[in-house]
Every structure is written in structure tokens, then in C-alpha cells.
Amino acid sequence: MSGELEGKTALVTGGGTGIGRAAALTLASLGAAVTVAGRTETTLKETVGLIEELGGAGRYVIADVHDEEAVREAVTFAAQGGRLDCAVNSAGVDGGNDSHPLIEYPVATVDLMLATNVRGMFLSMKYELELMAAAGQGSIVNISSGAGLTGVPGYAGYVASKHAEIGLTKSAALDYAGRNVRVNAVCPGLVNTPLIADMITENPALHEELVASHPLGRIAEPQEVADAVVWLCSDKSSYVTGIALPVDGGYTAR
């Protein structure tokens, strides 16, 4: 598949770690010029270094998705020559081990989930779509969650934000299908990221429970999700838009 995305430009928000980093590396390995955006310069630099080790083209930009002007500037920076072919919106927060039934769920946590996962994704798409619609081409892939397709007890705020991300994805797909811009979401189950590792460290008994909830008997590696993301970015999925694709080891098939 090497060179499949040669000459394409891509932006990955949340590109410093986890799924975002894996997607950035895979896009770059296929020839795309990749810009990673996020809040932490250290991890973004690491991602760019890994891209360069692959012989790819990578840049980074500091951007907090809560800040509309920073998002606009990041999208503009990523659009080399004014063109943005692919955007992967991976920036977000989850509930970690902070589980509560709804009436005890902290309002501050709900506000954070909505501000980051929903408003942050909305702002990212707003400026990505502006460029893509003007160019008459492009693909956006939003990283949602299996929690956007089902309920999860104790995580009402997170689940609500992930359902909202899928709603944004479907509405945007319908808005811009006529401009040859595709918008899709990937819905991972649990993935072996630093965040999940921290959760397991805090609560070792959680690992067995997490594995048991996935019929394939394990949690995913970031690359397995990145492969689905890159397929949706590529022309191989040219007739696919408006979907929420589970990549979850059978979690939502129950």
C-alpha cells in the first residue's frame, strides 16, 4: 500500500499519543504529509520524530480544541498550499475510573466532556469542512467510541458526548456529500493506550473485566484502529460516508 496517499495532506488532532499517533504514522507511511495537533509539545514532537524515522513528512502545531482561534490556525497550518485532503479528529477526553450513577455524576465532568468531545469536534470540522467544501474533495474521520453506540452504566456524561459525536458526523456527512466531502466516525472498543494503562494500574482488577467485555478476548492495539481510520481516509472507501464503524472486538454486537 506504500505511496497510496502520496501528495495528500492530512491533519490529526490529538496526534501526540494513542490512536491519533498511530493514525498519523500510518498516514505518513502511505505518503501523506501529516500535521499533528494537540496541547502537549513533547508528545507531538515525538510523533513527528517517528514519522521522520519512517522517511515521512511530519509537522506539529500546538492547539487546544477548546480554543476556536487555535483550531482555525491549526487547520490553516495543516492545509499546505491551501489544500487539506484528510482530517482525523482524535482529540478528546474520557471518564477514566471516575464512574458515577447519573444523579451523582459531576456537572463539571459533563461540562468538560461536552466542551472537549462535542464542541471541540464541531470546531475542528467547521474549519476542516470549510477548506474541503471549497476544494470539492476531502475525507474527515472522527474518533468516537463504542460508547457512542450503546449505553455504559456510570458514564452518562462520556456516553452522551460520544453519541453526540456520531450525530455531528452523520449531519455533516449529509450537509457536504454534494461537495464530494465524506465524513465518517470510527467507534473503538477499549484500546491499549497510555490512558487505559493508567486506568488498569489504578485498578488492576479492571483488566480482566475489560477483556471479558470484548468477545474477541482482548483489547485492541492502536494500530488496529488506525488501519480502519486510514481506510476511511483513502479512496478505497470512496462510496462510504455518514457511518459509525465499530472497531471493537464484538463489544457492540452483544
Q: Which residues are catalytic?
A: 158
DSSP string, 189-251: --B--HHHHHHHHH-TTHHHHHHHTSTTSSPBPHHHHHHHHHHHHSGGGTT--S-EEEESTTG
Helices (H) and strands (E) in the chain, counts: 9, 7
Please give the helix or strand (H or E) that residue 35 lies within, else none.
strand 33-38
Helix, strand, coil: what percent of the chain each, to 5?
Answer: 50, 15, 30
**Residue 59 host element (H or E):** strand 57-62
Dihedral pair phi/psi, residue 31, rounded to 5°: 105, -5
Secondary structure class of 112 (helix, strand, coil): helix
φ, ψ (nearest 5 deg) of residue 77:
-65, -40
C-alpha cell at 71: 483550531
Three cell numbers at 218?
482482548
* Inter-CA distances, 225 with 68, 181, 208, 218, 235, Å: 27, 22, 21, 14, 18
